[in-house]
Chains A and B, each alone.
Chain A
Amino acid sequence: MTTFPQAMVPPFPAGYGPLPADMTAWVRNNFGFITTNTVFRAEQHAAAGQALSSATFDALQLDTILEDPYSGWAGSGGGTAQPAWSWLAPYTGWYEVSVTVPITAGAIWLSAAITISIGMGGVTQWLDSILTPSATGGACSGAIVVPCAGGIDYIQAGTAVSANATTDTSGAARYPSVEITYISGG
């Protein structure tokens, strides 16, 4: 997928004879950025699921990257500017992060959450929190719009549980997932 520079309102100076490169920058690139967005989508498929520890934030160990055109994802090894299991924002702006976490355990408290560096002070924001059913593994699904400095701030999406549990990766119907889309340059 083609990536574009972040959209900026173009000048179109009167009396200036634009070159094709000017029009590419002012029209094509701006509309291109707006229509293609900065999309990150990923799921967790590992057969054994991920062990979740009680009362602590666990970043989802996403192993199936569906799309990451700006190459922001760092897996198990982390990256030079970010920890493991995080996505580095390519541009400064506001991003909507959604996370869905199904688990196999029943009758526990389950919460979706995200952790953001710097822009939110490196803290964890809690999202949808539920009590899972007794006989069936439950799932939570939360979302929030957060600010990120491009190339600096990263996002980890994950969960916390009240008792040790395991993510449910039994099939496409239940894969843990994270999606991030850009909303605004702010």
Chain B
Amino acid sequence: MPYPFAIPSPRTWSNGMGVKAPYLRTDVGTTVAIAGTPAMFSGSQITTGESIGTSTPTQVILDTEQYDNLGGHTSNILPWNYYGMFPGWYLCISATQIAYSGGVGGISAGIGASFAGGTLVYYWGQRLPNSATASQFSFPVAAKLIQMTNVGTLGGATNDYVCAMAIQDTGATQNLTSATHRWPYLQCWWVASPTSVGTGGLAVPTNDAWPLPPSIVTAAFLNKNIRDTANFVLYPPICEAYYLAGTATLASQSSFPATGTTIPLDTATVDNYSAFSTSTHTWTAPVAGVYWVWVQCALTMSTTSLALAAGLTVSSANYNAGTAFTMWGSGQQPNAVTGGFNAAVFRRKLRLNAGDTLKPAGWQHDSGTATATFLNSNGNDQGYVSRMITCWRAA
């Protein structure tokens, strides 16, 4: 079967309606093709050793493809970009590394995107200080949900695309590493239909056994096990929220608290199951399942900063015997300069019950007990911001 060109709209069945092969091919076959082999790209920079100017946001050349099932990338023309070839939301992850251990400045990984031929925008992820020890290179990571709807033309002037981004501020041009298996990379895969066509608010499919005689197949059975199941897998719960205000502060703590300070995320980019509250900064699992979760804590810190971390406050019977607590992710050294930008990340896949709650958390330690500020560098969802992403992955 060739790859589908569009998201199907599974039909509503009614009693007496013929169960025809073309109906099933469209509603079941197409859904299985899309969800079972989603549009996906994996590419790395293995040979180039690209030059990155200081303080210059730079798209990462992807000279080697590991996977590109819909042909959205070419290594010799516009090799930075993965062009969307199928509409929907894509979960994008990247990592980048420069061959530098001179101890000056920092490095950030990011995801870049262009929509309908517009200006390239970039969303920074983790920011790390550079090591001062030979052959120890900082290797930050990034993640972002990106919706691509202008799709289908490789290299098209108005076709949406994503790319991996890097920025460093050592004061001099540096080269990305091409050391064996420390390659900068971009990976992205389709996770949901575009918001304009998806059907939200559905229950997790139960995949009922097909009726055996003398039982009959009813319209209700088909609507539950084909229509609603297909709609769910084509548009599962996804959410991304970020902190826009950029004014809240984070006090210094010398050790990780049992419950971390909540990052006051106040704006949702996407929330198809209405799971996130911008007033309580809490995400509530709309349905049970395994969720991909990402938190990044972006801070402006000081010369006396010692450490920072991102975390996730979890309230679920599946963890810590049901007592709410904060899981802590990357605990890292800071870029300790006045007004220095920093970003730590947290990443897990968690099994949650409907009603369980997650809150993004931050932590920082300062030798002079100075407060840090939750950062928003651009006044929107771009640049350095604190962000949380959740994406349903399995029942």
Bound Cα distance from A174 to B325, whole angstroms: 11
- Please tell me which stretch of A73-81, A82-90, A131-139 contacts chain B, meaning at least 4 of its Cβ atoms lie within 8 angstroms of it: A131-139
Mostly, the A contact residues are mixed
Give the residues in chain B near A100, CB-CB below 8 Å.
329, 347-348
Q: Quick one: which of B194-242 are within 8 Å of A by CB?
A: 204-205, 207-213, 225-226, 229-230, 232-233
Chain B, residue nearest A130 (CB): B332
Whole-angstrom distance between the Cβ of B305 and the nearest chain A Cβ: 10
Give the residues in chain A near B136, CB-CB below 8 Å.
109, 129, 131, 162
Whole-angstrom distance between the Cβ of A25 and the nearest chain B Cβ: 9
Give the residues in chain B near A21, CB-CB below 8 Å.
210
In the complex, are the beta carbons of A33 and B36 less than 8 A apart? yes
Whole-angstrom distance between the Cβ of B385 and the nearest chain A Cβ: 18
A166 within 8 A of B: no
In the complex, are the beta carbons of B140 and A128 less than 8 A apart? yes
Given contacts A8-B32, A111-B139, contact A128 B95 (CB under 8 A): yes
Bound Cα distance from A14 to B256, whole angstroms: 62
A142 within 8 A of B: yes
In the complex, are the beta carbons of A179 and B348 less than 8 A apart? yes
Given contacts A124-B181, A131-B138, contact A181 B331 (CB under 8 A): no
B61 within 8 A of A: no
A70 within 8 A of B: no
Given contacts A20-B211, A35-B395, A173-B258, contact A9 B29 (CB under 8 A): yes
In the complex, are the beta carbons of B28 and A26 less than 8 A apart? yes
A98 within 8 A of B: yes
Bound Cα distance from A138 to B363, whole angstroms: 12
What is the interface size of chain A, counting residues whose CB is below 8 A from a CB of the partner?
A: 71
Whole-angstrom distance between the Cβ of B19 and the nearest chain A Cβ: 9
A-B contact number at CB 8 A: 237
What is the interface size of chain B, counting residues whose CB is below 8 A from a CB of the partner?
A: 85
B119 within 8 A of A: no
A112-143 near B? 1/0 per residue, CB < 8 Å: 00000000000111111111111111111111
In the complex, are the beta carbons of A135 and B307 less than 8 A apart? yes
Bound Cα distance from A111 to B129, whole angstroms: 14
In the complex, are the beta carbons of B233 and A31 less than 8 A apart? yes
Bound Cα distance from A177 to B210, whole angstroms: 38
Q: Quick one: which of B293-343 are within 8 Å of A by CB?
A: 306-307, 309, 311, 319-320, 325-333
B53 within 8 A of A: no
A10 within 8 A of B: yes
In the complex, are the beta carbons of B348 and A126 less than 8 A apart? no
Mostly, the B contact residues are mixed
Bound Cα distance from A172 to B350, whole angstroms: 13
Give the residues in chain B near A16, CB-CB below 8 Å.
21
Give the residues in chain B near A173, CB-CB below 8 Å.
256, 258, 311, 325-328
Whole-angstrom distance between the Cβ of A122 and the nearest chain B Cβ: 11
B99 within 8 A of A: no
Selected contact of B187 from candidates A37, A135, A145, CB within 8 Å: A145
Bound Cα distance from A124 to B329, whole angstroms: 22
B120-151 near A? 1/0 per residue, CB < 8 Å: 00000010110101001111110000000000
In the complex, are the beta carbons of A141 and B329 less than 8 A apart? yes
B5 within 8 A of A: no
B185 within 8 A of A: yes
Bound Cα distance from A162 to B328, whole angstroms: 22
B6 within 8 A of A: no
Chain A, residue nearest B308 (CB): A133
In the complex, are the beta carbons of A145 and B328 less than 8 A apart? no
B176 within 8 A of A: no
Bound Cα distance from A184 to B320, whole angstroms: 32
Give the residues in chain B near A127, CB-CB below 8 Å.
95, 139, 141
Give the residues in chain B near A145, CB-CB below 8 Å.
40, 42, 93, 187, 189
Whole-angstrom distance between the Cβ of B168 and the nearest chain A Cβ: 15
Selected contact of B28 from candidates A12, A140, A179, CB within 8 Å: A12
In the complex, are the beta carbons of B95 and A142 less than 8 A apart? yes
Give the residues in chain A near B76, CB-CB below 8 Å.
none
A-B CB proximity, top 8 nearest: A133-B307, A37-B394, A129-B139, A7-B36, A179-B349, A138-B331, A32-B207, A172-B320
Interface on A for B, CB 8 Å cutoff? 2, 7-10, 12-16, 20-21, 23-24, 26-28, 30-37, 39, 41, 66-67, 94, 98, 100, 102, 107, 109, 111, 123-145, 147, 162, 172-174, 177, 179, 181, 183-186
